[in-house]
């Protein structure tokens, strides 16, 4: 069982609306039917929690993953399977890692400036790059149904259709495009 390293907490209010006007039968209502109604406007992300003390690259990858969960909640993506939701969140996690690890940037553009906290010299160390490659390997080779298979299906969709079109398809259908 995978360990929990990050968590996105959100609240969504569900109210019941009256579908049929009730009749009073003695002291009780008779014939009243209610139907759950989701108010997508009332969804708040209340916190993103990340385990303290992890390496910078792992913390960033977890944060990218949890921020994608938050984005999905706030944009009204509902009732996704674990495979779809965790898969697309893992895609964003990998994208962030690739942007941080050596050669993760577009070769036609100048490399981004390194983060100031990477090392005293302002460059990523070889050990940090190896660590980043290890974290990427963990995402790419995860064997679990949601995080592994879900990731590979989401990654294939993003590679074929692009991130925006994949997200649009998920929003309309709740599934990944084939």
With cut-offs at 50, 70 and 90, classify the pLDDT of residue 133.
very high
Q: Which of 13, 12, 30 has its CA nearest to residue 21? A: 30
pLDDT at 11: 87
Q: Which of 131, 148, 132 has its CA nearest to residue 140? A: 148
pLDDT at 76: 87
Q: Which of 9, 162, 173, 3 has its CA nearest to residue 84? A: 173
pTM here is 0.75
In a domain, 68, yes or no: yes
In a domain, 62, yes or no: yes
CA angle 159, 169, 94 (to 5 degrees): 40
In a domain, 115, yes or no: no
In a domain, 74, yes or no: yes
Q: Residue 12 and residue 102: Cα distance in Å, rounded?
A: 40
Number of domains in the chain: 1
* Mean predicted lDDT score pLDDT of the chain: 84
Q: 17 is written with which tokens?
A: 């609306």
Q: 148 is written with which tokens?
A: 């592994």
Q: Residue 79 and residue 109: Cα distance in Å, rounded?
A: 39
In a domain, 17, yes or no: no
In a domain, 134, yes or no: yes
Structural domain span for residue 72:
54-104+126-177
In a domain, 22, yes or no: no
pLDDT digits (tens, 9 = 90+) for 17-31: 656 667 777 777 777
pLDDT digits (tens, 9 = 90+) for 61-118: 999 999 999 999 999 898 899 999 999 999 999 999 999 996 544 444 555 565 555 5
Q: Residue 83 and residue 174: Cα distance in Å, rounded?
A: 11
pLDDT at 102: 65
pLDDT at 96: 97
């Amino acid at each position: 069982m995978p360990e929990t390293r990050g968590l996105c907490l959100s609240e969504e209010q569900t109210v019941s609306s009256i579908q049929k006007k009730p009749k009073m039968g003695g002291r009780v209502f008779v014939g009243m039917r209610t139907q759950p109604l989701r108010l997508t406007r009332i969804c708040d992300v209340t916190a993103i929690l990340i385990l303290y003390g992890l390496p910078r690259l792992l913390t960033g990858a977890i944060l990218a993953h949890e921020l994608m969960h938050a984005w999905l909640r706030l944009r009204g993506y509902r009732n996704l399977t674990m495979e779809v939701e965790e898969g697309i969140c893992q895609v964003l996690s990998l994208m962030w890692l690739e942007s941080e690890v050596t050669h993760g940037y577009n070769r036609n553009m100048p490399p981004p400036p390194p983060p100031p906290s990477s090392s005293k010299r302002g460059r990523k160390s070889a050990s940090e790059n190896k660590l980043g490659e290890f974290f990427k390997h963990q995402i790419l080779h995860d064997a679990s149904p949601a995080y592994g298979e879900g990731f590979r299906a989401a990654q294939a969709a993003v590679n074929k259709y692009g991130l925006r079109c994949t997200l649009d398809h998920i929003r309309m259908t709740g599934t990944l495009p084939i």
